[in-house]
């Protein structure tokens, strides 16, 4: 018994000294005008070192519960496993059913509270499922390595734009020559970095209302909403300069890119697939018309980079 008394006194003295030191440090920080420790934390910083579980859970210890069983922070890394719990009184039940509060017996209050708790749980689960479904749908329509739509997401966005917008616009299909060379010579990581470089350059050249998608490993497509053919071609020349100035470099070696573009003025009768096919057909026609000159320019730029 005496040993327990001495041990309790020792623990109490340690706790008192620790709290006194912590209070002194807090006061010193506050006097210097620096932020307090808890001001930048999502959960309060508690002095629990050296304390037993019973001391941490003692009613007098702030905030009334220990760190092991404290309430979950609204900014915690993991979402709560259930809806927040509410304690309902006779007045709540009476207001729901439109009854006098005197008619709400303890048995009625218990039964109705249980039913309302189950409804809260069902609503919470439905909300979680809706959020997860929205997240999955968003991920399914975006490219995993670049901040753009994938092919299915771009076609869906293009269909919505044709159906709901009367502004029209120009669909541009881009084939990037040089990406396969980066992957072949520098590896997959360099290819992913080059893809992100190209995506960033194209995104910064477009407006927020212009949808952009990556159709496959080397082909982009975007829509210049409300833009005719001539401004779209001028935009392509600006984009070509932006892609190669400065050029993409990996481990000190520059890798130039060449663009092969096709255009299609969107018609209200188009679908996303027919518009994309028309733009791709225009690209192939332009490539055939300029193939000898384009091939010589691209070979000279690649040989100079090598």
Q: Are 49 and 18 within 8 A, CB to CB?
A: yes
Mapping DSSP onto H, E and C, the string for 206-220 reads CCCCCCEEECCCCEE
How far apart CA 16 and CA 19 sit, in angstroms, is 5
C-alpha dihedral (269, 272, 277, 279), degrees to nearest 10: 80
How far apart, in whole angstroms, are the C-alpha atoms of residue 272 and residue 162?
Answer: 8
Instruction: Say if CB 149 and CB 161 are below 8 A apart.
Output: no
Residue-by-residue pLDDT tens, the chain, 306 positions:
544 565 566 566 666 666 665 665 555 545 444 444 444 444 444 444 444 554 444 444 444 333 333 444 444 444 566 677 777 788 887 887 787 888 888 888 888 888 888 888 888 888 888 888 888 888 888 888 888 898 889 999 999 888 887 778 999 999 999 989 999 999 999 999 999 989 988 988 888 889 999 998 889 999 999 888 889 888 888 888 888 888 889 988 999 898 899 999 998 888 999 999 999 999 999 888 776 554 544 455 445 554
Give the chain's radius of gyration (CA, Å): 33
* Distance between CA atoms of residues 298 and 25, nearest Å: 67
Contacts of 79 (CB under 8 A, 6+ apart): 128
**Torsion angle of the four alpha carbons 101, 102, 105, 110, in this order, in degrees rounded to the nearest 10:** 10
Contacting residues for 158 by C-beta, under 8 A, at least 6 apart: 171, 211, 223, 272, 275, 276
Tokens linked to 37: 């420790």
Token couple for 143: 């490219």
- Residue keyed to tokens 């670049």: 146
């Amino acid at each position: 018994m005496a040993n327990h008394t001495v041990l309790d006194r020792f623990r109490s003295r340690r706790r008192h000294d620790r709290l006194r030191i912590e209070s002194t440090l807090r006061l010193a920080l506050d006097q210097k005008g620096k932020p307090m420790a808890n001001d930048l934390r999502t959960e309060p910083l508690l002095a629990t070192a050296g304390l037993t579980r019973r001391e941490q859970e003692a009613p007098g210890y702030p905030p009334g519960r220990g760190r092991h069983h404290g309430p979950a922070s609204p900014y915690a890394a993991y979402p709560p496993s259930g809806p927040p719990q509410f304690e309902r009184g006779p007045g709540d039940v009476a207001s729901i059913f439109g009854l006098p509060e005197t008619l709400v017996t303890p048995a009625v209050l218990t039964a109705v509270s249980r039913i309302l708790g189950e409804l809260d749980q069902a609503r919470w689960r439905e909300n979680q499922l809706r959020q997860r479904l929205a997240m999955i749908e968003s991920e399914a329509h975006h490219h995993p390595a670049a901040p753009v739509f994938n092919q299915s997401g771009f076609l869906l966005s293009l269909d919505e734009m044709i159906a709901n917008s009367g502004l029209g616009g120009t669909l541009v299909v881009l084939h990037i020559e040089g990406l396969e060379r980066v992957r072949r010579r520098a590896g997959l990581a360099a290819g992913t970095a080059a893809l992100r470089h190209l995506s960033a350059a194209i995104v910064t050249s477009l407006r927020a209302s212009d949808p952009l998608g990556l159709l496959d490993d080397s082909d982009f497509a975007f829509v210049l909403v409300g833009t005719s053919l001539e401004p779209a071609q001028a935009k392509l020349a600006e984009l070509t300069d932006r892609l190669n100035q400065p050029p993409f470099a990996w481990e000190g070696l520059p890798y130039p890119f060449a663009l092969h573009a096709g255009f299609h003025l969107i018609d209200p009768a188009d679908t996303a697939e027919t518009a994309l096919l028309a733009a791709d057909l225009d690209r192939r026609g332009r490539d055939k018309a300029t193939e000898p000159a384009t091939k010589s320019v691209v070979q000279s730029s690649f040989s100079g980079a090598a």
